[in-house]
Amino acid sequence: MTDTDQQTAWDRDGFFITRELLTAEEVELLGQIARADIRLRADASVRDDGEGRAVSLRVRNELEDDIYSTISRSRRIVSVMEQLLGGEVYHYHHKLIFKDRQTAGAWAWHQDYGYWYDYACLYPLLASCLIAVDPATRDNGCLQVLAGSHRMGRIEHGIKGDQTGADPERVAAIEQQLETVHVTLDPGDAIFFHCNLLHRSDANTTPDPRWALICCYNAARNNPYRQVRHPQYTPLKTVADDQVLADGRAHLSRLAPS
């Protein structure tokens, strides 16, 4: 997809998919590290989905010396974000989503700005890049998006279990008008999506895990007006794309010294 095609899809749909954003070798390393990294599960938070199951995720505001941070800093993502958000961006946070086999719950329809509005960001100038660690299929609860819903502005959100869900009556009306796209991905594929794009996912009822890494960015000119849950503007030091393998190998060797 050319830059122009990406921009057209972004303006029209609020998202686009980039196949093989991470190479097979990079995503295999990411998966290997994530599964071996006991710190991830120790730091994970669990959120009731209001339907009898729970979702599990590990959110980090800080960029550290690990593969997740190197990917978040990589030029191949940051340069796209700068183009989409129209200027300098900074790292807002990144998170691992653990859709574990048979146990992981659903995510209710929501906009990320449904959450982030409350974190003192005045403009919806934020976006995310979700990278599949495992195959994401309809059966294992891949992301679903309502194409074009980002153009409707921010929708009221309320509490659903431990999640924040968009007003169900409004979502039902939107579902009548807009196409629901199931974002099926192979490992390494990614979706870039606008913070006002409505998205959800079903529970994972299959025997296989469906993990993903999501890197989130805010425009530098949209600095939160007060100190809240996610960071204020800090310049983002980007790294060359080939750093992902180099830092990943170093990270793996720290987890499993030979």
Ligand X SMILES: O=C(O)CCC(=O)C(=O)O
Binding site for ligand X (CB under 6 A): 97, 99, 107, 112, 143, 199, 201, 212, 214
Q: How far is the CB of 246 from ligand X (least distance, A)?
A: 28
Closest to ligand X by CB, 160 or 247: 160
Q: What phi and psi, each to the nearest 5 degrees, are found at residue 133? A: -90, -40
As given in the structure block, the two tokens for residue 174 are 């939107």
Identify the CA nearest to 214 among candidates 116, 132, 149. 132
CA–CA dist 141, 15 (Å, integer)? 18
Closest to ligand X by CB, 212 or 244: 212
Q: How far is the CB of 201 from ligand X (least distance, A)?
A: 3
**Residues 31-45 as b or e (16 or more Cβ within 10 Å = b):** bbbbeebeebeeebe
Q: How far is the CB of 136 from ligand X (least distance, A)?
A: 8
Closest to ligand X by CB, 16 or 107: 107
CA distances from 69 to 91, 93, 214 (A): 10, 9, 11
Q: Give residue 95's Cα distance to chain centre.
A: 7
Q: How far is the CB of 212 from ligand X (least distance, A)?
A: 5
Q: How far is the CB of 250 from ligand X (least distance, A)?
A: 27
CA–CA dist 171, 25 (Å, integer)? 39
Closest to ligand X by CB, 112 or 247: 112
As given in the structure block, the two tokens for residue 99 are 């859709």
Q: Give residue 124's Cα distance to chain centre.
A: 16
Closest to ligand X by CB, 142 or 236: 142
Q: Give residue 19's Cα distance to chain centre.
A: 15
Q: How far is the CB of 179 from ligand X (least distance, A)?
A: 18
Closest to ligand X by CB, 215 or 236: 215
Report the residue number whose CB is nearest to ligand X: 201
As given in the structure block, the two tokens for residue 22 are 């991470």
